[in-house]
Structure 1
Amino acid sequence: MIRLRLYTTLGCHLCEQLEAVLATLCAERYRLERVEISGDDELVACYGVRIPVLVDEAGQELDRGMDPGRLAAWLSARGWLDEAAWRQLQEQLSGESAPKTAKGATLRGGRRYLG
C-alpha cells in the first residue's frame, strides 16, 4: 500500500478536488495522511500558497496538484496511474463523451448544441 501525505487546510476546495481526482486516477491502493497546516506557522510558511501539496514516501512533492494532467503525470512517473481512468477523465474534460440532452442536443463544455 502506498502512503501519501496531503498538506491541506480546512475548507480547501482545491484539496477536495485533488482527493477526488486522486481516487479516480490512482491504480494502487493508498493511504492518505492529511496534514492541517493552519495551526503551525512553519507549515503555513512552507505550504500556505502551494496547497494542495501531495507528497510520496520518498518525499517528492506535487504542489498545486489540483490539475488532473499534472497529477496524472506525477502518478505515471511512479507507475501508479490507472491509464484507462485517465483516458476516460480526459474524454469527460474535453467534452467528447458528453451526455445527450433532450431532442438530440448534446452537452459539451457546459454548452448545449443542437443537431
Structure 2
Amino acid sequence: MIRLRLYTTLGCHLCEQLEALLVTLCGTPYRLNRVEISDDDALIDHYGARIPVLQDEAGAELDRGFEPERLAHWLSARGWLDEAAWQRLQERLSGKTSPEPAKGVTLRGGRRYLG
C-alpha cells in the first residue's frame, strides 16, 4: 500500500476533484493523509496558492492534480496508473462515450432517479 499526502483546506472544491480522480485513476491501493494547511502559517505560505498538492512517500509533489492529464502522468511515472480507467476517462472527456451513472442512480427516459 502506498502512502500519499494531500495538502488541502476546508471547502476546497479542487481538492475534492483531485480525490475523485485519484479514486478513479490509481490502480494501486493507497492511504491518503489529508493535511489541513490553515492550521499552520508556514504551510499556508508554502502551499496556499498551490493547493491541492499531492505528495508521494519520497516527497515528490504534484500541483494541479485536479487536471486529469497531470494526475495520470504523475501516477503513470510511478507505476500506479490504472491504464484501463484512464482510457475510459479520456473517452468520456472527449465525448466519445456518455458518462456512467453514479452508483444508486437509475436512468429512465433520459431522467436520473436516486435509489
TM-score above 0.5? yes
Q: Matches of residues 45-84 of structure 1 in structure 2 within 5 Å?
A: 45-84=45-84
Secondary structure of 1:97 counterpart: coil
Secondary structure of 2:39 counterpart: coil
> Is 1:32 the counterpart of 2:37 in the alignment?
no
Q: Matches of residues 102-113 of structure 1 in structure 2 within 5 Å?
A: none
Q: Which runs of 5+ in 2 are unaligned?
A: 100-115
What count of residue pairs does the alignment treat as equivalent?
A: 99
1:98 Cα offset (Å): 2.3
Q: Match for residue 106 of structure 1?
A: none
* Aligned AA (1:83): E
Partner Cα separation in structure 2 for residue 9 and residue 52 of structure 1: 8
> Is 1:90 the counterpart of 2:95 in the alignment?
no
* Aligned AA (1:40): D
Q: Match for residue 8 of structure 1?
A: 8
Q: Which runs of 5+ in 1 are unaligned?
A: 100-115
Instruction: Look at both structures and tell me which one has the larger radius of gyration over its CA atoms.
Output: 1
Secondary structure of 2:35 counterpart: strand
* Aligned AA (1:43): L
State the TM-score, normalizing by the size of structure 2. 0.85
Computed over aligned residues only, the root mean square deviation of the Cα atoms, in angstroms, reads 0.8
